[in-house]
Amino acid sequence: MPALPDPELTFAFEARVSVAPSERIGHGVGEELWFTPITGGTVDGPLLQGTVVAGGGDWSTKRGDATELDARYLLRASDGTLIDIVNRGFWRASEDVEQRLIAGEEVDPSQWYYRTAPVFRTDAPAHRWLAETVFVGLAREDQGQVCIRFYALA
C-alpha cells in the first residue's frame, strides 16, 4: 500500500478581528470563563476577501497557563456571502511571557502557542470549498486586534 503524503499547508487568508474588552463570567475552582465580544474586522488573502461581521464572540476558559478558546462569528465575503465560522483552539504562555506581552514587549512567537482549528459553513457554491477543507489557524494579537492566518491543509 502506498504511503500517505506529508501534509502541506497553503495560506488562504488572514482575518483581523476587532474585539471589545473581555468580561469575566466566572466558573469553577481552578478555571475562569471569559467572554470577548467580536465587533468587526477584515478578511484579506489570496483565496478570500471580505469583512468580519460584528456580533459574534469568543468564550475562553483559562486553566493554569492554557486558555481554551471557543469563538463563533460570521464572515461576509466580498460578494456578500455570509460564512459561519466556529473557531476553537488554545492560547498557552508562561506567566512571565504573558506579562511581557501585556506590557507591550515584542516576544518571539516561539515562546507562546496560539493555534486554532476553524470549521466553516456555507452553502454558497463559490465558497463551498471552505466547508469542505480542513484548516489550521495561527493567531497573534496586533494593535488591539486578534489576527488569525488561516491555512488550508492539503
List, for residues 35-82, the tens digit of each pLDDT value: 999 999 999 999 999 999 999 999 999 998 899 999 999 999 999 999
Enumerate helices (H) and strands (E) in the chain, giving the number of each. Answer: 2, 9
Which backbone phi and psi does 110 adopt, to 5 degrees?
-70, -10
Q: In percent, how much of the chain has pLDDT > 70? A: 100
- pTM of the entire predicted model: 0.92
**Looking at the predicted structure, is the pLDDT value of residue 113 above 90?**
yes
**Taken in order 35, 140, 76, 128, is the CA torsion positive or negative?**
negative
Q: For domain 9-153, give the CATH number.
A: 2.40.160.20
Mean pLDDT, the chain, rounded, equals 95
Taking residues 3-11, what's their average pLDDT?
A: 95
Taking residues 22-44, what's their average pLDDT?
A: 94
The pairs formed by 119-122 with CB atoms below 8 angstroms and a separation of 24 or more are 119/85, 119/86, 119/87, 120/83, 120/84, 120/85, 121/83, 121/84, 121/85, 121/86, 122/81, 122/82, 122/83, 122/84
Taking residues 86-97, what's their average pLDDT?
A: 94
* Angle in degrees, CA 136, 139, 140, rounded to 5: 170
